């Protein structure tokens, strides 16, 4: 279905103020945003307008009860300048899985994608050409009834804005595995991309940083034994040539789209990939036996973030030299080449955005 989106372009572009070689992360936003309002049971007033502050009453429900979800994806340019989306339907589906868990309305997948396309058609000049840079897309939705009381909101706003971003993690990451805090429990919201999951991670993250680590390596909430994920990344471990990534069936791990992409790419290259629970004891045993070849985080932001070491119960476990990690380096290259249109897209993941106007 084709939706009617009213477009009101701004006369006041900020593009000339941006130095593409020096983009501060998450602080610069493109000229426009897409907005839709949900009321009386349907999405209405679909529009693209200037990026601008929102007007909310103090009673706006999301500010009190955190009924909010988001997505994060990137658009890159092909060598001939065509904006490319990477697996947008996967993001739309995950958005709706999050929406369902948070008792929010679905956004039709075709509306989700059309809104992104029209927004990028207007702001394509904000896509950086600089290597490792991209235009980050942030769709989000929140309950905006002006109401005090715990129930699902009747009204919602769905907004998409974009932000040019440079490269993400420069250095390999150091993880702290702890049983002091947990991120997600079966029956909870771990699989949903909802604000509360991130809010609850802030104190543990702050304490981990103060102790000299970059991220927490989250363990399961019951036995404090099974590895879940870290920061905003899923985890991959390569032991004896076998690739292992924690299973997500319990609903305690965010199902990363990069994770799914890597599973496909690895299997297509002949690697054995095991998707199963993996315990910290198994990992430590393998490190002690010298069998761990690689351990890395996967996510849209960093693609691959090599994990240099992790700390657990007073001991620091060193992982192999990052320079020797051929599999994850290759994965990063392959994914970057596919999503920027530089190598063949065997899985049909890349969706070009036609530009109506002269580039």
Ligand X SMILES: Cc1ncc(COP(=O)(O)O)c(C=O)c1O
Residue ranges binding ligand X (CB under 6 A): 72, 229, 232-234, 254, 256-259, 298-300
DSSP state of 194: B
Q: Which is nearer to ligand X, 89 or 154 (CB)?
A: 89
CB of 232 to ligand X, least distance (A): 4
Q: Which is nearer to ligand X, 259 or 339 (CB)?
A: 259
Strand runs labelled E in 167-272: 173-177, 215-219, 227-230, 233-239, 242-245
Q: Which is nearer to ligand X, 145 or 229 (CB)?
A: 229
CB of 20 to ligand X, least distance (A): 23
C-alpha dihedral, 260 to 262 to 266 to 269, nearest 10°:
110
Beta pairing class for 292-299 and 303-312: antiparallel
Sorted by sequence, the CB contacts under 8 Å of residue 138 that are 6+ apart come out as: 70, 71, 72, 160, 161, 162, 163
- Please say whether the beta carbons of 263 and 347 come within 8 A: no
DSSP state of 172: -
Beta pairing class for 173-177 and 215-219: parallel
CB of 94 to ligand X, least distance (A): 7
- Please say whether the beta carbons of 273 and 267 come within 8 A: yes
Q: Which is nearer to ligand X, 32 or 183 (CB)?
A: 183
CB of 128 to ligand X, least distance (A): 19
CB of 46 to ligand X, least distance (A): 25
CB of 203 to ligand X, least distance (A): 16
CB of 145 to ligand X, least distance (A): 27
Tokens read off for 268: 């297509």
Strand runs labelled E in 41-93: 42-50, 68-70, 73-77, 83-86
Q: Which is nearer to ligand X, 152 or 195 (CB)?
A: 195
Q: Which is nearer to ligand X, 120 or 263 (CB)?
A: 263
Q: Which is nearer to ligand X, 30 or 232 (CB)?
A: 232
Tokens read off for 156: 């919602």
Q: Which helix (H) or strand (E) holds 336?
A: helix 326-339
Q: Can you tell me the distance from the alpha carbon of 287 to that of 274, in angstroms, rounded to the nearest whole number?
A: 18
Q: Can you tell me the distance from the alpha carbon of 18 to that of 94, in angstroms, rounded to the nearest whole number?
A: 32
Q: Which is nearer to ligand X, 152 or 188 (CB)?
A: 188
CB of 96 to ligand X, least distance (A): 14
**DSSP helix/strand/coil, 211:** coil
Query: b/e per residue, 107-132, with b = 16+ CB within 10 A?
Result: beeebbbbbbbbbbbbbbebbbeeee
CB of 197 to ligand X, least distance (A): 7
Q: Which is nearer to ligand X, 115 or 302 (CB)?
A: 302
Query: b/e per residue, 172-204, with b = 16+ CB within 10 A?
Result: bbbbbbbeebbbbeeebbbbbbbbebeeebeeb
């Amino acid at each position: 279905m084709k939706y009617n989106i009213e477009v009101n372009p701004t006369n006041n572009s900020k593009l000339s103020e941006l130095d593409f070689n020096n983009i501060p992360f998450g602080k610069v936003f493109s000229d426009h945003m897409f907005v839709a309002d949900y009321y009386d049971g349907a999405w209405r007033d679909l529009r693209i307008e200037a990026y601008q502050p929102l007007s909310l009453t103090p009673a706006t429900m999301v500010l009190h009860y955190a009924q909010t979800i988001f997505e994060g994806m990137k658009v890159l340019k092909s060598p001939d300048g065509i904006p490319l989306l990477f697996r947008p339907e996967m993001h739309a589906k995950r958005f709706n899985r999050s929406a369902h868990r948070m008792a929010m309305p679905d956004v039709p997948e075709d509306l989700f994608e059309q809104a992104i396309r029209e927004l990028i058609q207007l702001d394509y000049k904000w896509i950086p050409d600089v290597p490792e840079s991209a235009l980050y897309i942030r769709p989000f939705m929140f309950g905006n009834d002006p109401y005090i009381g715990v129930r699902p909101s009747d009204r919602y706003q769905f907004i998409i804005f974009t932000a040019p971003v440079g490269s993400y993690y420069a250095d390999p990451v150091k993880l702290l595995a702890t049983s002091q805090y947990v991120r997600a429990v079966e029956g909870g919201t771990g699989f949903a991309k909802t604000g509360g999951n991130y809010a609850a991670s802030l104190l543990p993250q702050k304490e981990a940083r103060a102790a000299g680590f970059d991220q927490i390596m989250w363990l399961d909430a019951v036995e404090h034994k099974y590895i879940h994920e870290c920061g905003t990344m899923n985890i991959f471990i390569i032991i004896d040539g076998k690739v292992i990534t924690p299973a997500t069936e319990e609903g305690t791990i965010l199902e990363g789209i990069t994770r799914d992409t890597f599973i496909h790419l690895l299997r297509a290259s002949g690697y054995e990939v095991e998707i199963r629970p993996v315990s910290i004891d198994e990992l430590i045993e393998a490190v002690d036996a010298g069998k761990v070849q690689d351990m890395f985080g996967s996510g849209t932001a960093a693609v691959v973030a090599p994990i240099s070491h992790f700390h657990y119960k007073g001991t620091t476990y060193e992982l192999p030299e990052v320079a020797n990690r051929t599999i994850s380096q290759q994965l990063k290259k392959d994914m970057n080449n596919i999503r920027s249109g530089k190598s063949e897209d065997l899985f049909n993941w890349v969706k070009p955005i036609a530009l109506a106007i002269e580039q």
